[in-house]
Amino acid sequence: MSLLPHWSSLSLPQQVAQLLVVRASGHLFDQQIQYPAWEPTAATLRHWIQDLGVGGVILLGGSAAELALRTQQLQQWARIPLLLAADIEEGVGQRFAGATEFPPPMALGEIAKTNEEWAIALAAAMGATTAQEALAIGLNWILAPTCDVNNNPANPVINVRAFGETPAQVSPLVTAFIQGVHRFPALTCAKHFPGHGDTTTDSHLDLPLIPHAWQRLRQVELPPFQAAIAAGVDAVMSAHLLIPALDEQFPATLSHRILTEELRANLGFSGLVVTDALVMGAIANRYGANEAPVMAVEAGADILMMPIDPPGAIQALCDAVESGRIGRDRLHASLQRIWQAKQKVWASVSGDATHAWENLPAPPIQLEQIAQPAAIATSQQIVQAAMRVHRLTPSRFTPRSPARNLILLDDALNCDVLPPTAAAVALPQQWGYTLQVIDRHTPLVPLPVPGEGQPTLLQLFIRGNPFRGSAGLSQTAKDWFTALVTSQQLQALVVYGSPYILEALLPELPADVPYVFSYGQMPQAQAIALKTLLGSAG
C-alpha cells in the first residue's frame, strides 16, 4: 500500500530536513529555557518543525507530566510525525522529574559479577520500564543502551554509563536491555560506535584519539555493538573519536570507512546511523557548522543529531545534493530507513502496519504508567544489590552529636539529586548533624587539623559526566578527605556515583572507618545507603 505523503512527495529541502533531529527544552515556556545556546524559542522551534519539516527533536528538562504536554505540542506542529528522543540511559526519571530513575548501567555490571542471570533479568526490566514510561509521555526513541566498554577508569564521559569494563560483561546486558525495550514499540540506539570506552578526553570538549590497532578494537570495543545488532537495535550512534587504525583523517562521525564500510558492510547493520551531537566540541571546534552535516551524510549517517545551525545545515545539504556531492540515491536510502523507523513506532498506534501512519494523531498521554510500584522496586533492587558496604562489628553506625554532615559535589547550584528533602540532607539532620555543603563555588574553608573540628560524616557525589572534563576526585575533595583522615575526624564515608572514586580513597581510608558506596545518586539511593550504614537497610 502506498503511504501518503511518502517522502518522495516532499521537496528536496523537506526531504533533507527529515534527517535533522534538533535540540529543544522539555519545558513549555521560553522563560524556562535552561540552555539558550542550544534550545530555541518556541517560535523558532515551531518554524523548524512546521515550515522546514525537521524530522525529530531531542528533549531535556521538565517534569514527566510537562514533557507529555510538550511532546503533544511538537507532534501537533509537525506535518510528518516526529522522532522524539531523549538520553535516558538511566530511565525516564534521569531527565524528567517524577518518572522512574535507575542507577547507572555499571550497577548492573556489578551485580553480574556474582549473579549474571539476575543482572540480565534486571537489565531487561530496566529497558521495559524505560520504554513504557517514555511512550506514556510521548517519547518514542530511547538513546540507549551505551555499548561502550569502560576499560579506562579515567574516562571522563563514559565511566559508569557503561555496563562494564569487558565485552563479556557488557554484551549480554546490552542485549537484555534492548530486548526489554522491544516489549514496547519504542526505538533503541547503541552508542557510541565504534567504542568510546578507552578515552581520557571528553568528546563534548575536544576530539579524543584511540591509538589501538584494529585487532584490539575488534576484540574489545566491537563485540557489544555486534550483540546489539544481533538483538535488533534500531539505531547506532557514532562516536566523535579519531581512530587512526581505521581512518587517519576523519573522526568516526565523519568517516565513510567507519560508518559505511565497517558498520554497514562488515557488521551488516541495516538500521539508522545517527551522529552524536554535532554541537559537541570534538566536531564543532574543527569543522564548519554546515560542513560537518554534509560530511556526516557522505560518511553514511542517516540522522544528524543537534546540528549547530539547522536552517544552514538544510541549505548546505540541498546544495550538496544539487551539485552531485551527495547522490540522490544516498539521500533516498536514509529517508527510507527513517520512514521505516517512524512507521515502526507510529503503526503501533493504529495496530495496522499498512495504515497511513503519517496522518495519525499523537498517542494519548498515560501518566498512570509513570513510576509504578514495580518499577520503583526494580530500581531499588539494583541500588541495593550493587552497593559496596564496610561496617564494623557491631554492624551499626552510631551517629554522634554534635557532628557534621559534610557533602562534597561539583556544583550544588545545578544538582537535581540534592533537594532539601533529599535523604543525604534530611536523615543526618534527624540524627543531630549540622549540614555543610562544599562545591566548586564555595569560598576556601579552613581544613580541619588534629585536635580541632568535629566528627564528620563525609558524603561524596562524584561521577564522570559530559562536560565535567574528569572522572576523578576534585582537588577540594582530595584535600578534605586527607585532612579528615589525618585529624581523625572522619566518622564514616559515603560515595555516590563512581566506584573508581572509592577505589582511589581506599588506600588512605583507615580500616576502622565504615563506608558505603552506591552507584545511584538519587534520593532513594541516598536513603538506602545511609540506612545501610546505620544498620537498618529496610
Alpha-carbon Rg for the chain, nearest whole angstrom, is: 24
Q: Which residues are catalytic?
A: 204, 276
Give residue 286's pLDDT.
Answer: 85
CB 344 within 8 A of CB 234: yes
Q: What distances in angstroms separate CA 439 from CA 436, 445, 458, 462, 496, one per listed residue? A: 10, 11, 13, 11, 15
State whether the Cα torsion 45-51-54-55 is positive or negative. positive
The domain made up of 18-369 is a member of CATH 3.40.50.720:
no
Give residue 1's pLDDT.
Answer: 27
State whether the Cα torsion 171-175-178-180 is positive or negative. negative
Residues 6+ apart with CB under 8 A from 330: 297, 298
- Measured between alpha carbons, how far is 370 from 375 in angstroms, rounded to an integer? 9
Tens digit of each residue's pLDDT (9 = 90 or more) over 478-518: 999 999 999 999 999 999 999 999 999 999 999 999 999 99
Give residue 355's pLDDT.
Answer: 52
The correct CATH number of 387-534 out of 3.20.20.10, 3.90.870.40, 3.40.50.10870, 3.40.50.720 is: 3.40.50.10870
In SS3 terms, 466-482 reads as CCCCCCCCCHHHHHHHH
Give residue 396's pLDDT.
Answer: 54
Give residue 278's pLDDT.
Answer: 92
3-state SS, residue 25: strand
CB 104 within 8 A of CB 463: yes
According to DSSP, residue 49 is labeled I
Closest CA to 81 of 456, 275, 420, 345: 345
What residue ranges do the domains of the chain occupy?
A: 18-369, 387-534
**Predicted structure pTM score:** 0.94
Written as tens digits, the pLDDT of the chain (538 aa) is: 233 347 888 999 999 999 999 999 999 999 999 999 899 999 999 999 999 999 999 999 999 999 999 999 999 999 999 999 999 999 999 999 999 999 999 999 999 999 999 999 999 999 999 999 999 999 999 999 999 999 888 877 889 999 999 999 999 999 999 999 999 999 999 999 999 888 776 666 677 888 888 899 999 999 999 999 999 999 999 998 899 999 999 999 999 999 999 999 999 999 999 999 998 877 878 888 899 999 999 999 999 999 999 999 999 999 999 999 999 999 999 999 999 999 999 877 655 555 566 777 778 899 999 999 999 999 999 999 999 999 766 555 777 768 999 999 988 888 889 998 999 999 999 999 999 999 888 888 888 888 777 899 999 999 866 555 555 678 889 999 999 999 999 999 999 999 999 999 999 999 999 999 999 999 999 999 999 998 754 3
3-state SS, residue 293: helix
Which set of grid coordinates corresponds to residue 275?
A: 551522529
End-to-end CA distance of the chain: 57
State whether the Cα torsion 315-318-322-324 is positive or negative. positive
Q: What is the DSSP string of 447-464?
A: PP-TT-S--EEEEEEE--
Closest CA to 46 of 34, 54, 38: 54
- Measured between alpha carbons, how far is 201 from 31 in angstroms, rounded to an integer? 34
CB 510 within 8 A of CB 484: no
- Measured between alpha carbons, how far is 193 from 222 in angstroms, rounded to an integer? 8
- Measured between alpha carbons, how far is 484 from 468 in angstroms, rounded to an integer? 25
Helix 328-350 × helix 291-299 angle, to 10°: 80
Q: Which strands, in side-by-side order, build the sheet including 403-409?
A: 388-390, 515-518, 490-497, 456-462, 403-409, 433-438
Give residue 2's pLDDT.
Answer: 35
How many other C-beta atoms can be found within 10 angstroms of the C-beta atom of residue 279?
A: 18
Give residue 210's pLDDT.
Answer: 86
